[in-house]
Amino acid sequence: MIIPELPAYLTSLGGEDYKGLIISLFTLTAGLSRPFSGKLADKIGRIPVMVVGASICFLVSLLYPIITSVAGFLFLRFIHGFSTGFTPTGTSAYVADLVPFNKRGEAMGIQSLFGSLGMAAGPALGGYIASIWGITPLFYTSAGFAVLSVLVIIRLKESVENTEAMSIRHFRLNRHEIIEKRVLAPSLVLLLTVFSFGTVLTIIPDYSEFLGIKNKGLFFAVFTLSSLGIRVIAGKTSDRYGRIPVMKVATLSMALAMLIIAFAQSKGMLLFGGVIFGASVGMNSPTISAWTIDLSLDAFRGRALATMYIALEAGIGIGALASGYIFANKTENFPVVFSIGAVTSILAFIYLFTLPKNQKYLVPTDKS
């Protein structure tokens, strides 16, 4: 909801040179918190982890209008990342606990479908609220939605059977608890593909304005809507034919989308690139999640998903930081910035052909 308006808001505070940090600081914190959220999800349960993340989102959204310095804004972006570091880890693990092995792709597709509905409605609604009432009501509306999510979460039944009481020992990590080696292959593919997502989040608001699109959330709404229907289909297809074939199509589609966006000269061409981009994201998200769960052990499912999300944050953060640096507020740099995203997607496509056999196919977990 707030992302499309943040670059202009930061500029109004005098921080136009720090646009790349809007996304990268957020994802940095999310990535740093993932090992903790993964361990906590496995030990104390999925529900508390989800509640913590949503509560942080609520508190930070209330503070945005109050803290109006550039340094304060960037600090809030850093803290806000904890919300993404916790809630999705708990949510994905919770869904994975509930579904049978042969329907994981479909389940991840349904989960990501609802996430996409929020991603589609959020930017468009946020742009509308900001254009009519200003950005302060937008921040408060964001806080309101966070409260609603907490009310939903607390009504759920915990899926971890033998939970532990929270203790300080849960915040002590050894090196084996940071990264789950079993899921490095899908995590690397995810990192390479979401580099483009970081670029889009950071640069598209300026690109939209450059091409005369007044609602900076329109591109985000278009690409998210285009991803909706394909998510469940991609998930079901990966259940039937395997994760790798779907990922090959997804990575090639991502490369094509970034090239279309890079050389767009009109509103229509930019939005067409958004449609292809959305289709790629729609195939990528549920398939990567299901692939990660395939390769993980039940007892360490939270850790495995946390590893996947670390790769997600790293890819988005690096993409945001690199694109902001390369763009440097110069419109002539638009083609170069988005073309780099096409290159990283091609690298992911090539990597899929090099995987050993035990990383390519569905692998039941210890309980399956």
Give the pLDDT score at 364.
41
Give the pLDDT score at 196.
93
Residue type, 244: I
- Angle CA(93)–CA(97)–CA(103) in degrees, nearest 5? 105
CA 171 to chain centre: 24
- Quickly state the pLDDT bin for 277 (edges 50, 70, 90): very high
243 Cβ partners below 8 Å, 6+ apart? Answer: 105, 186, 287, 288, 290, 291, 294, 360, 362
- For residues 150 and 47, the answer to whether their CB atoms sit within 8 Å is no
**Pair of tokens at residue 275:** 């449609």
What is the arithmetic mean of pLDDT over 197-222?
A: 86
Closest CA to 292 of 247, 254, 327, 344: 247
**Pair of tokens at residue 168:** 């300080």
pLDDT at 177 over 80: no
Residue range 316-363, pLDDT digits in tens: 889 988 998 898 888 888 999 999 999 999 999 999 999 876 665 554
Measured between alpha carbons, how far is 118 from 45 in angstroms, rounded to an integer?
Answer: 25
Give the pLDDT score at 330.
87
DSSP secondary structure of 210-254:
HTT-S-TTHHHHHHHHHHHHHHHHHHHHHHHH-HHHHHHHHHHHH
Residue range 280-319, pLDDT digits in tens: 999 998 999 999 988 888 788 888 888 998 898 889 889 9
Residue range 27-86, pLDDT digits in tens: 788 888 888 888 899 889 999 999 999 999 999 999 999 988 999 999 999 999 888 889
**Pair of tokens at residue 203:** 């640069």
Lowest mean pLDDT among 22-26, 46-50, 136-140, 333-337: 22-26
Give the pLDDT score at 363.
41
Query: Could you tell me what percent of the chain has a pLDDT over 90?
Result: 44
- CA end-to-end distance (rounded Å), the chain: 39
CA torsion angle 257 19 60 166 (round to 10): 70
Closest CA to 317 of 209, 190, 171, 227: 190
- Between 119 and 273, the more confident residue is 273
Instruction: Enter the pTM of the model.
Output: 0.77
Q: String of b and e for 65-75 (b: at least 16 CB within 10 Å)?
A: eeeeeeeebbe
In the predicted model, what is the mean pLDDT of the chain?
88
What is the arithmetic mean of pLDDT over 188-217?
A: 89
Angle of helix 46-63 versus helix 70-98 axis, rounded to 10 = 160
- Angle CA(273)–CA(275)–CA(281) in degrees, nearest 5? 100
pLDDT at 125 over 80: yes
Measured between alpha carbons, how far is 81 from 59 in angstroms, rounded to an integer?
Answer: 12
- Superfamily of segment(s) 3-159+177-360: MFS general substrate transporter like domains (1.20.1250.20)
Measured between alpha carbons, how far is 25 from 242 in angstroms, rounded to an integer?
Answer: 35
**Lookup result for tokens 């050993």:** 356
